[in-house]
C-alpha cells in the first residue's frame, strides 16, 4: 500500500507510521529533525511541509503520487477563552484543522478504493470552556468532510472521519499535559488501523 501520513512528527502520526512499517510510506510534518529520525526507524520517505500553505501542500502531493491510504494527523490545540481569543489564534486553529485538510483533498491523487482518514473529536469532549476555537475548527472539518464525501466517492475514494478520545500526545503540551486516562498513541493507532482497514470502511469511526 502507498500510504501518506501527515502530522507524522506528532504523537498519533508517529505511532501510525511505526505500526505501518513495511508499507510504502511517505511521512510529512514541519520539523525536519524528528521527521528524519522517524523515516530512519520506519523506512518512510521524509517530506517536510507546512500544509496550511497550499503551494507546499500541492508540491508534497505531486511528489508522493497516487495513494491507497492517507492519514491526516495534523492539528494544534490551545486554551482560548472567548473573551480573550485573538484573531491570530482563531486563524491558526482553522488553518491547521480545516485548510490543511481542504488543500490535501484538493491536490491528492488516489488509487481506486483508497481511504482518506481525518481526525475529529467527540463534540461533548470539546464543548468545554477555553475550547471554543478548537471545537469550531473540528466542527468545520467535520462539515467539510461530510459535504465532500459524495464528490470523492465518485472517484472511488472513501472518506473516514475518526473521532478520538484523549490521546497522550504533544497536542496537550500547551494545555499542561494530557488528562488522566488518555490512551497511549500506540493504543489509539492500533484501534484506528483496525477500524479504518475494515471492509467496507466506516464513514465515521468512534474510537
Ligand atoms: N491527542 C488527542 O487527545 C486528540 C483528540 C482528538 C483529536 N485529535 C486529533 O488528532 C490529530 C493528531 O493529533 P496528535 O495528538 O498526534 O497531535 P500532535 O502530537 O501535537 O501532532 C500534531 C502534528 O500536526 C503537525 N502540524 C501542525 N500544524 C501543521 C501544519 N500547518 N502543517 C503541517 N503539519 C502541521 C505537527 O507537525 P510539527 O510537530 O512537525 O510542527 C505534528 O506532526 C489532530 O488532528 C488532533 O486534533 C487528537
Contact 162, 192 (CB under 8 A): yes
DSSP bridge partners of 117: 71, 160
- 160 touches ligand 1 (CB under 6 Å): no
pLDDT in tens, the chain (207 residues): 999 999 999 999 999 999 999 999 999 999 999 999 999 999 999 999 999 999 999 999 999 999 999 999 999 999 999 999 999 999 999 999 999 999 999 999 999 999 999 999 998 889 899 999 999 999 999 999 999 999 999 999 999 999 999 999 999 999 999 999 999 999 999 999 999 999 999 999 999
User: Which 3 state secondary structure label does DSSP give 124?
Assistant: helix
- Whole-number Å distance, alpha carbon 23 to ligand 1 midpoint, is 22
Residue with cell 472517484: 155
- 48 touches ligand 1 (CB under 6 Å): no
- 121 touches ligand 1 (CB under 6 Å): yes
CA 55 to chain centre: 19
Q: Using CA atoms in the order 176, 180, 182, 186, what is the torsion angle rounded to 10 degrees?
A: 90
- 52 touches ligand 1 (CB under 6 Å): yes
pLDDT of 107 = 98
Please give the model's pTM, rounded to 2 decimal places: 0.98
Among the atoms of ligand 1, which is closest to the Cα of residue 29?
A: 40
User: Which 3 state secondary structure label does DSSP give 72?
Assistant: strand
- 51 touches ligand 1 (CB under 6 Å): yes
Q: Are strands 2-6 and 67-72 parallel, antiparallel or unpaired?
A: parallel
Order of strands, edge to edge, in the sheet holding 67-72?
45-46, 24-27, 2-6, 67-72, 110-121, 158-164, 204-206
Amino acid at each position: 500500500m502507498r500510504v501518506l501520513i501527515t502530522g507524522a512528527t506528532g504523537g498519533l502520526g508517529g505511532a501510525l507510521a511505526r505500526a505501518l512499517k513495511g508499507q510504502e510510506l511517505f511521512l510529512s510534518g514541519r520539523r525536519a529533525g524528528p521527521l528524519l529520525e522517524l523515516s530512519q526507524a520506519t523506512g518512510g520517505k521524509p517530506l517536510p511541509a507546512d500544509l496550511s500553505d497550499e503551494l507546499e501542500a500541492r508540491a508534497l502531493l505531486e511528489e508522493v503520487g497516487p495513494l491507497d491510504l492517507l492519514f491526516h494527523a495534523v492539528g494544534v490545540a490551545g486554551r482560548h477563552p472567548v473573551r480573550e481569543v485573538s484573531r491570530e489564534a482563531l486563524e491558526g486553529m482553522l488553518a491547521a484543522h480545516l485548510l490543511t485538510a481542504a488543500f490535501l483533498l484538493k491536490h491528492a491523487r488516489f488509487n481506486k478504493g483508497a481511504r482518506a482518514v481525518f481526525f475529529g473529536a467527540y463534540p461533548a469532549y470539546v464543548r468545554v470552556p477555553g475550547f471554543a476555537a478548537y471545537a469550531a475548527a473540528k466542527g468545520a472539518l467535520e462539515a467539510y468532510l461530510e459535504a465532500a464525501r459524495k464528490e470523492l466517492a465518485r472517484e472511488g475514494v472513501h472518506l473516514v472521519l475518526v473521532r478520538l478520545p484523549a490521546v497522550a500526545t504533544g497536542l496537550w503540551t500547551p494545555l499542561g499535559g494530557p488528562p488522566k486516562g488518555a490512551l497511549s498513541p500506540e493504543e489509539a493507532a492500533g484501534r484506528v488501523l483496525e477500524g479504518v482497514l475494515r471492509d467496507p470502511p466506516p464513514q465515521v469511526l468512534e474510537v
